[in-house]
Structures are given as C-alpha cells and as structure tokens.
Amino acid sequence: MSISDLILTYVVVLLAALAGVSIYSELRRRRFQPAPSEDRIFRCGRCGYVYTDDPDVDRSRCSQCGRTNKAIVF
C-alpha cells in the first residue's frame, strides 16, 4: 500500500466518522425538540390578554374578561 493510499483512507474514514456523528446529533435533536402546536392564538380586544384555544374554534371567549374574540392571523 502506498503512502497516498494510506492518506486517502485516513481522510475518508475521518470524513465518514464526522458525517455519522453529524447525522446522529441531528436525529437526536429532532427527537427531543417539541412539536409545533396546532392551537390558534387569540388576543382580547378589551383587556389585551393573549391566549390559545383548539384549532377548530373560530371565536373564543377570553378567560380574563369574558369577551369573545377572533383568532389572530399572521
């Protein structure tokens, strides 16, 4: 085995190990990351309280003052 083959093998093994660690850490990060919530966000027009409710609700009652509000559209 020539010296250039040894260096090439060494570099390829190191790059493969680096890629493996990178893939493993990305999979681990995704597993522990919280899933995005499907709830709708509401803001009360009277008291300014911001709250969430189920995704199938179009209008929701504020838990602070009782006013019915529409969902915020981003």
8-61 per-position pLDDT tens digit:
999 999 999 999 999 999 999 888 888 788 889 999 989 999 999 988 888 999
21's tokens: 């660690």
Q: Tell if the pTM clears 0.75, that is, is over it.
A: no
CA 48: distance to chain centroid?
A: 27
In contact, 68 and 59? CB cutoff 8 Å: yes
**How far is residue 66's CA from residue 74's CA, in Å, rounded to a whole number?**
24
**How far is residue 68's CA from residue 10's CA, in Å, rounded to a whole number?**
67
